Amino acid sequence: MAISEAERAVMEVLWRRAPRTAGEILAEVGPRQGWQEGTVKSLLNRLLRKKVVRVARDGRRYLYRPALLRERYVLEESKGLLDRLFGGRVAPLVAHFSEHRKLSRKDIAEIRRLLEELDDARD
């Protein structure tokens, strides 16, 4: 399930609050993205074909809602990133960020806390 950056912008609107009309989605992302109504409707149609959005008729309008949970999307995307770039391993990912991006003390403390929780869960 490949969702483009533009499609993800529409999904983020729906994940925050659904159901939404195409007009409501346009009002939220259109000005920021420079999109017109046709663009949003095209993106919604692509998402419908991918079966990650559902639509229901409500009188003369259509209401869209996500069929894919955000948590599921994040899981699939993060797994794909790990597999493609780091051989499915987390340690090289953390090493990469520590080498190329300053990790704050807060970041390091949070990583330590997560590791301790994982270690405690294995005991």
For residue range 8-24, list pLDDT tens digits in order. 999 999 999 999 999 99
List the one residue out of 17, 30, 32, 29 whose CA is nearest residue 63. 17
Domains of the chain, with CATH numbers? 5-66 (1.10.10.10), 70-122 (1.10.4040)
Whether the predicted pLDDT of 1 surpasses 80: no
> Are the C-beta atoms of 25 and 40 separated by less than 8 Å?
yes
Give pLDDT tens digits for 57-87.
Answer: 999 999 999 999 999 999 999 999 999 999 9
**Omega before residue 19 within 30° of 0, cis:** yes
Nearest-angstrom CA–CA distance, 63 and 58: 7
Global pTM? 0.80
Integer-rounded Cα Rg, in Å, for the chain is 19
Q: Tokens 């989605």 label which residue? A: 25
